[in-house]
Amino acid sequence: MQRADASDIGRKMASPWTRTSSTERKVPHTRMEDESAIQRLYLFGRKLGQGSFGVVYEATHMETQKKWAIKKVNRKKAGSSGVKLLEREVSILKRVNHLHVIYLKEVFETPKRMYLVTELCEGGELKELLHRKKHFTEEETRHIISSLAEAIVYLHKQDIVHRDLKLENILVKNDHRGDDGEMPSIKVTDFGLSVQKSGVGSENMLQATCGTPIYMAPEVINAHDYSQQCDVWSVGVIMYMLLCGEPPFMSSSEDKLFEIIRRGELSFTGPVWDSISDGAKKVLSCLLKVDPAHRITASELLDNPWITGNTSLPVTPTNVLEMMKQFRDESEDSDWMELRDSLNGVSLNPSPEPTPHTETEVMSAGSDHEGNQEVRLQDTTDKSSSSKPSAPTRKRQRKKSFISTFNGVLKRNGSIVKSSSGTCVGTKVINPPSIRQVSPKECSKPRAANPKLSPCTPENKTPQMSMNTRVKKAT
């Protein structure tokens, strides 16, 4: 039988569950009665690795002479659970196509075995490379973590959660030696424990406790509802190991290990950490946050200055809680800046004589029967010099008219901030003694020129103005 005939016959006998859906790549999946047809297509070479129920071989395609890796799985040894994991991996690999995710070329299936033909990664597992090097440089680590983050961002956008990211499941494309300055090119593999969610929301949270203990996130250990953020934690563990050669959390027993992971206390002690930048340590602290709500996302990791190398731009978080905190801080800063601008030009020291320019005085207008202090703004414009104030002056006056105090409370545009000593905005306190005060005698004088302001005599205990209109400007 010719090779083409064997291939055509095999494809006609494909099993029903292997048919590709509209969301999958067109990956050939062939069912055969025996292995003879595969051996006519591929020449099997050296063994690359071995698992509990599968072996990986290097193989050369007869027609093109291109080298591939073929994962040969014994269905009987794998059992029903193992076959289910393999089918899940095949299903996900048919959906993905990314530079840093292993590429699935085609699948063959016989009654006894399954064959997965994937791209060949001659560098082997990243764990083996780390074992030879002891630890990577910060520049090499940055390159690897950047590539890994790109892959995770891509998977998460497809609603795919890997759930078993570790050094053993990251392959090195080329036979990396590091002598010529070439950076290792990585591929994420082994999607047996991966799952594709149907979307966002509490109904799509994951609950199964799975993975490799030293890489597992606290929420996975606790069997709580968790999301794709568990992959970000694993990226943090991988980054830590690349930099120093050891995992961030270790113990002699699994129970103690899980307890240490739940605490999430990072240590940067040891000679190797002396040469590591603060930026890298900060990234690790953000990746290994125990609370996944405060943990940065894979997209945020890609935008981090330690990854991009651009330290001139501030990091803008996409995490909702971090964005709310940043918005609150910026709002407080904005409030103080606006108050400062509002008080700009207010006389804080008594001047010996009036100037011909428009001024605004802060006057102590007495108190009502409840002891509520009232602040009034009085226009002391020299009428003889000008009939109308300038535009900048009017603008300042409008800003000042929004400031009032009520029983030790600063009120501005409807916002009230309690003050125990003077007027307080945020952490800024304006000391009352520095504000110009007008004596009660002067305040008790009748104000015929200001009919809108009620007299500030002790007998006038019930002012007619509401709290929202305590600041008035004389005309």
- Cβ neighbors of 161 (< 8 A, separation 6 or more) are 155, 194, 195, 196, 197, 206, 227, 228, 230, 231
Active-site residue, from 8, 34, 164, 368:
164
Burial class from Cβ neighbours inside 10 Å (0-12, 13-18, 19+) for residue 165 reads buried
Burial class from Cβ neighbours inside 10 Å (0-12, 13-18, 19+) for residue 401 reads middle
274 assigned to active site:
no
Q: Are 187 and 206 in contact (CB under 8 A)?
A: no
**289: nearest Cα among 258, 262, 312, 316:** 262
**What residues are annotated to the active site?**
164
